[in-house]
Amino acid sequence: MTTAKKNVKAVKSSKTATPVKTAQGPKHLVIVESPAKAKTLNKFLGKAFQVVASMGHVRDLPKSRMGVDIEHDFTPEYIIIRRASKTVKQLKKDAEGKETLYVAPDPDREGEAISWHLAHIFSEQNPGAKILRVEFNEITQSAVLRAFDHPRAIDMNLVNAQQARRILDRVVGYQLSPLLWRNVGRGLSAGRVQSVALRFVVDREREIRKFVPQEYWTLDAKLSAVDGSEQQKIFLSRLSQIDKKKAELQGQAETDRIKQELGQLSFQVSHIEKTEKRRKPQAPYITSKLQQEAYGRLGFSAANTMRIAQRLYEGVELGQEGSVGLITYMRTDSVNIAASAREEAARYIREKFGKEYLPEKPAVYQSRKGAQEAHEAIRPTSAFRIPDSIKDFLESDELKLYELIWRKFLASQMVPAVDEHTAISILAGEKYGFRTTGKRNLFLGFTAAFGEIKAEKENSREIEEEMPEALELPDLKVGQNLKLHELLGEQHFTKPPARFNDASLIKLLEEKGIGRPSTYAPTISTILGRMYAERKGGALMPTELGETVADILVKHFPKILDEAFTALMEEELDEIEEGKMDWVKVLKDFYGPFSEFLARAQTEMKNVKPAPVPTDYQCDVCGKQLFIKFGRFGKFMACAGFPECKFTRSIPTGFFCPETGCGGELVKRRAKGRRAFYGCSNYPKCTHVANELPKKEDAAEASSEAP
């Protein structure tokens, strides 16, 4: 038994998990990615282990050049990242004299690649170094000690899958981006996945613009049973059939005519159907579903969700309990659950809700094709760590996300909810049919732990045409006469499909097989960061720059922006990870067609930079005329005297600054790390800022007061 294992065994056997003391100091070095994780592992492993952080990747391709030798099997040129040079120097110092070096980054491709790069650095320093990989899905004492009990070699299939993706993205980015600089604007970028996602956003916006709304009407009747009681419950029923055909009312005249006819007719219950329906719980979260529901329920962006989840995974200080990882690893596409976690959840459900809430057999969920079945779904590390018990140790958003994960996991291990659905058909005369539906819950089942969220629907008409649904309906009988209280005709217009938001774009990317759990949030962040899209409310709206870039890439690189081709590339990366494909062959197969498109684009791609547009404004520095130009961040005004005079300013919005006596104009600005905002043109004298422009009436009032 190795010293490392002896120490781990000692920790396991100790009731208080007291760290094993060594006279000579730490014998083993453990390298994780973050200081938070290092702090938590230090508590578990004891003094025979020194746990340090690499702060993420330490080696990568150089920024100043492509760093890939395409002619020689895409050999990468890795260098120590500048920001990591001090860290690497310290890691080498820490490794001196250690018996074993354990690399313990996250359990995915990126983590395996970091492990491989670290091993390369230490092997250069000490060719005989004993380097082992440890992997754990949750940062709890039992999981960590189990991982150190079963260290392994670095998995080169995982490493090669990461290398293939990194080199693929580098080749695309470093060869497409210069074309955009030359023909659109400096500082732009193109990416294999981000460009496809941008295309989705642009195409959706154009669908919205082309959409022509169609008028339609609905007609509801306010009814109650005729039984002589003044307290009889009034309910709504919607016109659904005319002469046994679907009712489709096109205008007010038709609706008014039918209302007049109905006013003369008697209403009677023609059919009642009651059915029991079971609503099954959903699987515990995978990355994409967590991002979608965190957006829908909590309003969190995908990037924010992942930042918070990272903190919950790496460890949170819980008073006397110390630093503890609260959730399992948050980048996963598997719905698997460890048997021990399922058993613990069953104990909690039995104690909290009762045995009737537990299924006879534990629920088994099916992961999507290609999911990494060795991983687990996102779940709490302990079902008994209820949100209320740790609320004093978490920030507000951390608590909200933890509770979402905790409730979803518990619900996934519970029985279905049972509802009674009632559908009542009503006849008015012999010609008009009305329909009312109602639902009442018979058994809470999983909803006792986690309520449902109503899915977004692409077609707003579908939402509006749903039958009015009452939670409780009066007790009616077939043949019973009904009293008509009022007829309500309402005008509607069909609406275009909704713009994408974080949740709906991630859902589409997942459905199309584009990207993987680790790429969804960065993809959206890149589109926003490059100013290819901006948020309007919660929606993603392409900018003029984004549309220009999407169009030029689709025209000259149709295959690269083809969703089926991009999905195929993801499948091949998965096959590299599984050892079924050679990573160099995958790159060669991609680069052949890509290089042909690239060669044609270099000669055929035309400059799409719009010509400068003159304005009535003058330069504040030299007095020359200002022109509207097109740059990386969109349109701006620049001096006609450029390059001698480099004065620029944002384009005025036409709204005056609301600050009394200022007289400046509001201009659109951007700051690193935040979305666009509106600031005063007199900055820094006036520091007024706002997230939105004033309303028209407010602007008119400010304009009248402006000097």
In angstroms, the CA 4 to CA 12 distance is 12
Give dist(CA 193, CA 567) in Å, integer.
9
Helices (H), 69-193: 85-95, 109-125, 141-149, 156-183
Compute the distance between CA of residue 101 and CA of residue 123 in angstroms, rounded to an integer.
11
∠ CA 48-49-55, nearest 5°, is 165
Q: Which among 102, 329, 520, 678 is annotated as catalytic?
A: 329
Work out whether strand 100-103 and strand 131-133 pair parallel, antiparallel, or are unpaired. parallel
Burial label for 17, CB within 10 Å (0-12, 13-18, 19+), is middle
DSSP output for 203-227: HHHHHHHH----EEEEEEEEEEE-S
- Rama region for 513: left / alpha / beta (φ>0; ψ in -120 to 50; rest): left
Kind of pairing, strands 131-133 and 533-536? Answer: unpaired
Q: Please write down the HEC assignment for all residues of 404-466.
A: HHHHHHHHHCCCCEEEEEEEEEEEECCCEEEEEEEEEEEECHHHHCCCCCCCCCCCHHHHHCC
Q: Are 169 and 591 in contact (CB under 8 A)?
A: no
Residue 263, classed as helix, strand or coil, is: coil
> Which residues is 235 bridged to in the sheet?
223
Active site residue 365: no
CB 99 within 8 A of CB 107: no
Please name which of 288, 289, 300 lies closest in space to residue 398, comparing C-alpha atoms.
300
Supply 144's token pair. 């960590």
CA distances from 689 to 543, 657, 665 (A): 22, 9, 11
Strand partners, 268: 427, 481
- Tell me the HSE value of 95 on the side-chain side, using a 13 A CA sphere: 26
CA nearest 329: which of 348, 306, 347? 306
Q: Which residues are catalytic?
A: 329
